[in-house]
């Protein structure tokens, strides 16, 4: 199985959400399209991810013995010719340097000390600080380093639906999404803020992921929703007729920039807030309100009301954002993996 097999190390759970797994499944599918005689095998420590991968039709190995992360990879690396790692873990430099003598190693998104010793690293974002982008270790260790908008991997339904985006007729639809699990309960903070807004013909739609961690509190909230408020299961199609999206900073932010939908960003953690601020400074393509705990509710609501009222501002934000991503990150990512596999 080794010579024609790609190994994907990835997890999904309430704590980390679905983003890593969705990206890896998309890459596996794209590689399969380009090379029919290869196999994709997934390695995971989460039963939830194990079941989803099986349903997708791929072979998957579950870390049933709960081995240490590096031991788990050492035990299974003989199964493939390339190891793709999309997991947030502090891999040691010695470990990565050692295993890449036996298998090509491509790391994705997770910036740790071990990353600087991989064969290749893909940083699918445009919000990394300059000290990361210009780190001398990329060249010193001969790491093939790819970063920026060109390597953002979009949800396939988002990627193929840019031409479906249109504003809802007769009213302003505002979609709110706070991530798959929303561990900080940002949804409830935004609900408390938005319920104070007095605007005619405005509909607020809150999207809730399968892994949402506060379902009991949400059920109580839904008992007395105003007529203009809806809470629905997460569905990307809800974005397609949105006038404005309010989102915690992350993958969804990039998806909205790709679709050209005016975006207001808040962050649930300090690291996300810093990243959002960097991206805002580099693009000026959305409205950034920083860390939710430090955001000014009055300013947030005033900015939203202004955006609702100003078609010119919405058009300007959309025009800026539509120039940033071309939607071909999945093809570029698959090409990098194939080049590393056959090097």
Distance, in Å, from the CA atom of 332 to the CA atom of 135, rounded to the nearest integer, reads: 23
Buried b (16+ CB within 10 A) or exposed e, 286-311: bbbbbbbeebeeeebbebbeebbeee
**Helix spans in the chain (H):** 19-34, 47-55, 69-76, 93-99, 130-133, 137-140, 156-159, 186-194, 215-221, 251-259, 270-283, 297-309, 311-321, 329-341
Phi/psi region, residue 116 (left: phi>0; alpha: psi -120 to 50; beta: rest), is alpha
Per-position pLDDT tens, the chain of length 343: 456 899 999 998 767 777 888 899 999 999 988 877 789 999 999 998 999 999 999 999 999 999 999 999 999 999 889 999 999 999 999 999 999 999 999 999 999 999 999 999 999 999 999 999 999 999 999 999 999 999 999 988 999 999 999 877 778 999 999 988 899 999 999 999 999 998 889 999 999 988 899 999 999 999 999 999 999 999 999 999 999 999 999 989 999 999 999 999 999 999 999 999 999 999 999 999 999 999 999 999 999 999 999 999 999 999 999 999 999 999 999 999 999 987 6
Distance, in Å, from the CA atom of 274 to the CA atom of 267, rounded to the nearest integer, reads: 9
Closest alpha carbon to 121 in 101, 155, 148, 94: 148
**pTM, rounded to two decimals:** 0.90
Sign of torsion over alpha carbons 219, 223, 229, 230: positive
DSSP 194-259: HTT---TTEEEEEEE-TT-S-HHHHHHHGGG--TTEEEEE--GGGGTT-SEEEEESSHHHHHHHHH
- Bridge partner residues of 107 (DSSP): 85, 121
Specify the pLDDT at position 288.
98
SS3 (DSSP) at 36: coil
Specify the pLDDT at position 171.
82
């Amino acid at each position: 199985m080794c010579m024609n097999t790609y190994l994907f190390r990835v997890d999904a759970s309430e704590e980390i959400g679905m983003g890593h797994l969705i990206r890896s499944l998309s890459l596996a599918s794209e590689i399969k399209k380009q090379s029919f005689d290869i196999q994709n095998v997934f390695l995971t420590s989460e039963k939830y991810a194990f079941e989803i991968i099986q349903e997708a039709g791929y072979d998957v190995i579950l870390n049933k013995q709960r081995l240490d992360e590096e031991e788990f990879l050492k035990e299974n690396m003989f199964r493939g010719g390339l190891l793709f790692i999309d997991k947030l873990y502090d891999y040691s430099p010695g470990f990565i340097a050692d295993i890449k003598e036996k298998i090509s190693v491509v790391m994705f998104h997770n910036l740790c000390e071990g990353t600087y010793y991989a064969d290749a690293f893909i940083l699918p974002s445009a919000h990394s600080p300059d000290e990361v982008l210009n780190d001398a270790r990329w060249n010193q260790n001969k790491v093939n380093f790819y970063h920026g908008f060109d390597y953002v991997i979009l949800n396939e339904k988002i990627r193929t639906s840019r031409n479906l985006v249109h504003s809802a007729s007769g009213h302003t639809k505002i979609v709110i999404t706070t991530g798959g699990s929303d561990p900080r309960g940002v949804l409830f903070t935004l609900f408390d803020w938005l319920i104070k807004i007095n605007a005619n013909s405005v509909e607020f739609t809150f999207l809730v992921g399968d892994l949402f961690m506060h379902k009991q509190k949400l059920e109580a909230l839904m008992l007395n929703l105003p007529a203009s408020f809806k809470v629905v299961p997460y569905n990307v199609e809800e974005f397609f007729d949105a006038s404005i999206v309010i989102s915690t900073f992350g993958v969804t932010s990039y998806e909205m920039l790709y679709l050209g939908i005016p975006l207001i960003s808040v962050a649930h953690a300090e690291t996300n807030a810093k990243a959002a601020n960097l991206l805002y400074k580099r693009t000026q393509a959305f409205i950034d309100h920083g860390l939710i705990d430090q955001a000014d509710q009055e300013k947030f609501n005033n900015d939203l009301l202004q955006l609702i009222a100003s078609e010119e501002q919405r058009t300007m934000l959309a025009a800026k954002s539509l120039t940033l991503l071309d939607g071909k990150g999945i093809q570029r990512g698959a090409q990098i993996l194939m080049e590393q596999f056959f090097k």
